[in-house]
Chains A and B, each alone.
Chain A
Amino acid sequence: DAGITQSPRYKITETGRQVTLMCHQTWSHSYMFWYRQDLGHGLRLIYYSAAADITDKGEVPDGYVVSRSKTENFPLTLESATRSQTSVYFCASSPSHEQYFGPGTRLTVT
């Protein structure tokens, strides 16, 4: 009973590379979210999804792409990584009100 998992947990990549961060939940929650967390900014929403095949932009979507072909998976792709995308990325899922967060992926873009 893993709940919500993210992979990889740590990633170092170079500027311009494409990177995909994976998120998987076992609860069958309808809602899923991607956030980034940076010092001084708190958690900022990148994209969210209300159900399979339904996604929408959050506060900071530029440079990111998401898909949700299955309820349990919500991958986040950085199409061409930039140094400003160095951050900790959290995936979350929600049945209705509260959100449950994955352990995070620490991404460094060099």
Chain B
Amino acid sequence: GQNIDQPTEMTATEGAIVQINCTYQTSGFNGLFWYQQHAGEAPTFLSYNVLDGLEEKGRFSSFLSRSKGYSYLLLKELQMKDSASYLCAVRDREYGNKLVFGAGTILRVKS
């Protein structure tokens, strides 16, 4: 089976850096995804990691360690519009390569 853990909520200050962690347990890991979801809206794709290391995309970076079953999403220069839920999802070869989502981390950015 699959198990994905993320913190439920985090609060950070505008202009700061925040790291959202995700740990997972899967039998057939085949990629990790991060999505952003604003309240009342659809999830939007942020990043995809399949190999170990850091992927940078503007203010957002995502890191993966397959041996530790661990990923994090790093948000720099936080803006108020970054207040949203951040979903970690794992693609599992044993699950037909479908995505399994964590419950999400609600990030609140305060001024």
Interface residues of A (CB under 8 A from B): 33, 35, 40-45, 48, 56, 58-59, 90, 97-104
Contacts and interface: CB of A to CB of B under 8 A. Distances in A.
B101 A43 contact: yes
Contacts of B91: 97
A97 B102 contact: no
A98 B96 contact: no
Given A40-B103, A43-B87, A97-B48, A56 B42 contact: no
Query: Secondary structure of the B side of the interface?
Result: strand
Contact of A103 (B31, B42, B96): B42
Contacts of B41: 103-104
B24 interface: no
A35 B102 CA distance: 13
Contacts of B96: 56
Nearest to A40: B103
A42 B42 contact: no
Interface string B20-57: 00000000000101000000011111001000000000
A101 B99 contact: no
A17 to B, nearest CB: 25
A28 B51 CA distance: 28
18 contacts: A33-B98, A35-B101, A40-B103, A42-B87, A42-B104, A45-B98, A45-B100, A58-B98, A90-B42, A90-B43, A97-B31, A97-B33, A98-B45, A98-B48, A99-B33, A100-B45, A101-B44, A103-B41
Interface in B78-92: 87, 89, 91
Contacts of A45: 98-100
B57 to A, nearest CB: 12
Contacts of B45: 98-100
A77 B101 CA distance: 23
A86 B87 CA distance: 21
B101 A101 contact: no
Nearest to A103: B42
Given A42-B103, A56-B96, A101 B42 contact: yes
